[in-house]
Amino acid sequence: MTRAHPAVHELDGYSVAALDPDAAARVGAHVGSCSPCKSYIHRLEAERATLMTRMPAAAFAAKVADKAATASWWRAAVASLRRPLALGAVALLATAVAVVLVVLPARDHDRVRSMGSLSARLYLRHGEVTREIGDGAAVTPGDALRVVVIAPSAGYLAAFFMDDVGGLTWLAPPEPGGEALPIGAGEVLLPGSAVFDGSPRPERLFLVERIERFRPADVATQIVARWRASGLPLAAHAFVPAEVYSVLFTKEMP
């Protein structure tokens, strides 16, 4: 009989203590007796440790502390810089989304884009070069995107892409119908990377955070309906709810 393993996103959550008690107990019992899953957890811990050595935490913390004087919620972000980041491999669906490890470059400036209460840093890997990008960035097939969410408070997050015909691709949760991702306040590196496919269609990324649990599929359906009803092109931002973080990616075909 084939042995059932926990889903990848459950192993990712277990590695950073992000699961609820029942799920943590179930996954922990499996990991304790499963060598492949135990090895996977160890790889996550090693990758996370490596990533933390590459991120200039002290310099960034100083910048965040400066912001705290005018924005009280940044105090939570300062404390969160000491927490480990979640880093893992997630199998994503649709539009040729794949899992890739992208090492984040050192940051010498503050390029956080904020929409509503949620902010994010976006890192694009093109070949061997990784750079930080913003709204309207041009991408090419094979480019890999990693997302660092900066949340003002702990809650639950959904992240998904929509193209200009309303097609959806899920980042968190990694599949349609999945649960919203529990996150803490401050910086959270979303597990996995999204790799842009060969379609010439532009895509818009949506990040939605709420304090209470919610159904990501329902929120995505509402946003798609809102966009269709507006009659606006995908490039327009007017249809995006104020509390939702969203950026557009255009495609440059080779």
Q: What is the pLDDT of residues 128-153, one digit of tens each?
A: 888 999 999 999 999 999 999 999 88
pLDDT greater than 60 at residue 57: no
pLDDT greater than 80 at residue 125: yes
Q: How many CB atoms sit inside 10 A of residue 29's CB? A: 10
Do the beta carbons of residue 180 and residue 148 sit within 8 Å?
no
The percent of residues in the chain predicted with pLDDT above 70, rounded, is: 70
HEC profile of the chain: CCCCCCCHHHHHHHHCCCCCHHHHHHHHHHHHHCHHHHHHHHHHHHHHHHHHHHCCHHHHHHHHHHHHCCCCCHHHHHHHCCCCCCCCCCCCCCCCCCCCCCCCCCCCCCCCEEECCEEEEEEEEECCEEEEECCCEEECCCCEEEEEEEECCCEEEEEEEEECCCCEEEEECCCCCCCCEEECCEEEECCCCEECCCCCCCEEEEEEEECCCCCHHHHHHHHHHHHHHHCCCCCCCCCCCCCCEEEEEEECCC
Task: Indicate the range of 45-54, 57-66, 69-78, 213-222 predicted with least confidence.
Answer: 69-78
pLDDT greater than 50 at residue 24: yes
Task: Indicate the range of 57-61, 95-99, 158-162, 205-209 predicted with least confidence.
Answer: 95-99
Q: Give the model's confidence band at 41: pLDDT under 50 very low, under 70 low, under 90 confident, else very high.
A: confident
pLDDT at 176: 83
pLDDT at 111: 37
When mean pLDDT is compared over 12-21, 57-66, 149-158, 191-200, the highest value belongs to 149-158
Q: Which fold has domain 8-251?
A: Immunoglobulin-like (2.60.40)
Q: Give the model's confidence band at 100: pLDDT under 50 very low, under 70 low, under 90 confident, else very high.
A: very low
pLDDT at 91: 30
Q: Would you call the peptide bond into 173 cis, given omega within 30 degrees of 0 as the criterion?
A: yes
Q: What is the mean pLDDT of residues 40-54?
A: 68
Residue with tokens 């490596």: 50
21-33 helix and 35-54 helix, angle to the nearest 10 degrees: 110
Distances (CA, A) of 173 to 43, 50, 203, 212: 21, 25, 18, 16
The percent of residues in the chain predicted with pLDDT above 90, rounded, is: 40
Per-domain residue ranges for the chain?
8-251
Q: What is the mean pLDDT of residues 92-112?
A: 36
pLDDT greater than 60 at residue 65: no
